[in-house]
Every structure is written in structure tokens, then in C-alpha cells.
Amino acid sequence: MRAAQLAEENCSIARPASLLGDRWTLVILRQAFSGIKRYEDFQTSLGISRSLLSDGLGKRVVAGIVRREPYKKAICTRDR
């Protein structure tokens, strides 16, 4: 049975197994648990193409494994 078929099963074990069957899942999770939060940092540290990373992270967002948050820029103010 292929991973795509497992994802369609009505089974609480088969569906997560379909995600774990993807070769990037555990590597992406390792990076996330080691503190990487920004897309560019994932891309740089993994050496993965942007399209593969977007697809991989998107699948994990849909599955509820990771969440997307807006980038927050630090605001610097100078004393005048």
C-alpha cells in the first residue's frame, strides 16, 4: 500500500504513518525541535529545494504538526 492510500484510510494509525513515510518529515521535525522557525532557515539548513520544502511544510500544517505564523520583524528605535 502506498503512502497516498494510507492517508485516505479511516484509521488513526494509517494516516500518521502516511506522513511518517515521507522522507522529509522526521528531518523537518528535527530542525523544528532544534529551534529553527523561519522558512529560510529550514531551507538553508536542509539544502532542500524551495518547492519541496513548501510542499513538506504545507502538508505538516494541514496535518496539525506545525503551524504557520506571520514573520515578526524586530523594530529598532533610536534615542533622538
Q: Which long-range contacts (CB under 8 A, 24 or more apart) does 63-69 make?
A: 63/19, 65/19, 65/29, 66/28, 66/32
Is residue 15 one of the residues assigned to a domain?
no
Is residue 8 one of the residues assigned to a domain?
no
Is residue 38 one of the residues assigned to a domain?
yes
pLDDT tens string, the chain, 80 residues long: the values are: 565 666 667 777 777 777 676 778 888 888 989 999 899 999 999 998 899 899 888 888 888 888 888 877 767 666 55
**Per residue in 56-78, pLDDT tens?**
888 888 888 888 888 777 676 66
Residue 44 belongs to what domain range? 23-66
Split into its structural domains, the chain has a count of: 1
Is residue 29 one of the residues assigned to a domain?
yes
Cβ atoms of 25 and 19 within 8 Å: the answer is yes
Is residue 76 one of the residues assigned to a domain?
no
